[in-house]
Structure 1
Amino acid sequence: MAGPHITWRPVVESDFGLLADWLSRPHVHRYWHHDFSPEGVARDFGPGTRGEEAGEDLVVSFDGVPGALVQRSRIADYAEDFEELSAIVDVPEEAVTIDYLIADLGNTGRGLGTALIRAVVAETWERYPLAPAIIVPVVAGNVGSWRALEKAGFRRVGEGDMEPDNPIDPPLHVVSRIDRPVTRRTT
């Protein structure tokens, strides 16, 4: 049985209400500890909609229905993140990172996260042609998230302390990595 058709597009200002709703949901807010007030969403996502951020904020749809958010960026474009992650694992200059959420609790634990990660990884190799790897730190307590990465082909490359999104979490993070596939040329 085929999975859902997965598409995405950049977040636009008219998505802010949807994002606020998603970020307010307990299973999302637990690990995406963002201010979900209208002002907080505008502050956190507005720069991306105006092209003032290096990273991407993407609304993901499953079979045409919005149901997830992905953030993607070159790690080096955010010096603090690069420094913090480089203290744990080797981070190539052009490496990319992703973050993701599934909006509806009923859609978690069903393989959608893994399917989403696989789709985003495949497209990342095209969009970021210099990226040798995608490296993703996940707070250690978010087992579902780092297991979805493993099911999508990532391997654990380290563990270490990083500033957690939610202050109730200990700083321990699991760091996973997937390398760009090697393609063979035929003559």
Structure 2
Amino acid sequence: MELAFVPLRRADFALLSRWLTAPLVSRWWAEPADLESIEREYGPRVDGTDLAPTWIVHLEGRPVAMIQWYRYSDEPEYLAEVGQFLPVPDNAVSIDYLIGAESAVGRGVGPAMIDQLVRLQWEREPDTGDAVVPVHADNRRSWRALEKAGFEHLTDAELDPDNPVDDRRHRIMVRRRPPR
């Protein structure tokens, strides 16, 4: 599967707004999707003042998904919350992702983009550790994509949900960084 990771640009904000309002995305990614909110959240990433690299994923030349990578050390409150259930080293990372194009759902894009990004970022950032990704227990598509990308379910946790309609049940998925 030919995937390309293109750094997020402001020109992508309208597309991201449409994706965030799509039913399959908005169910799990409950954040404002108006352009002003997207500018507030993602503008600093485009400008390089937020340290979470974010990409639009292209499949065969078409934008189909978004994925972002961040270090737990840049998110101390989240590190403390997740760290109650699993030791999370300072050099651990996490990812967030969504498939916005319905035509890409069910085609293996999720596992492929997760796997490719993790391997690519470990190569680019050799000081990073394991990838630790909490996922709501009911979001089966998401945690199955992680499993297919080499993650394992290490523990369950009670964490604040991304969507306020959800309870706190999460699965913490981990992909161990191979020894260097």
Name the TM tier (shorter chain).
Answer: over 0.9
Match of 1:64 in 2: 61
Matches within 5 A, 1:6-155: 6-155=3-152
- Normalised by the size of structure 2, how large is the TM-score? 0.96
Q: Confirm or deny: 8 A CA contact 1:132 1:180 kept in the other structure.
A: yes
Shift of residue 138 of structure 1? Answer: 0.5
Structure 1's unaligned 5+ residue stretches are: none
Counterpart AA for 2:135: V
Counterpart AA for 1:154: F
1:94 match: secondary structure: coil
Mapped to 2, the partners of 1:16 and 1:170 lie a distance apart of 30
Q: Deviations over 1:124-168 (max 9, x none)?
A: 211221112111111111001001111111111111111111101
Shift of residue 112 of structure 1? Answer: 1.2
Higher Rg: 1
The one of 144, 154, 157 equivalent to 2:154 is: 157
The one of 173, 176, 186 equivalent to 2:173 is: 176
Q: Runs ≥4 in structure 1, deviation > 4 angstroms?
A: none
Structure 2's unaligned 5+ residue stretches are: none
Q: Confirm or deny: 8 A CA contact 1:33 1:166 kept in the other structure.
A: yes
Shift of residue 10 of structure 1? Answer: 1.6
Q: Confirm or deny: 8 A CA contact 1:109 1:144 kept in the other structure.
A: no
Mapped to 1, the partners of 2:78 and 2:52 lie a distance apart of 12
1:147 match: secondary structure: helix
1:16 match: secondary structure: helix
* Aligned alpha-carbon RMSD (Å): 1.1
1:93 match: secondary structure: coil
2:89 match: secondary structure: coil
Indicate the percent of aligned positions where both proteins have the same amino acid. Answer: 38
Counterpart AA for 1:150: E
1:110 match: secondary structure: coil
Mapped to 1, the partners of 2:134 and 2:46 lie a distance apart of 25
Q: How many residues align structurally? A: 180
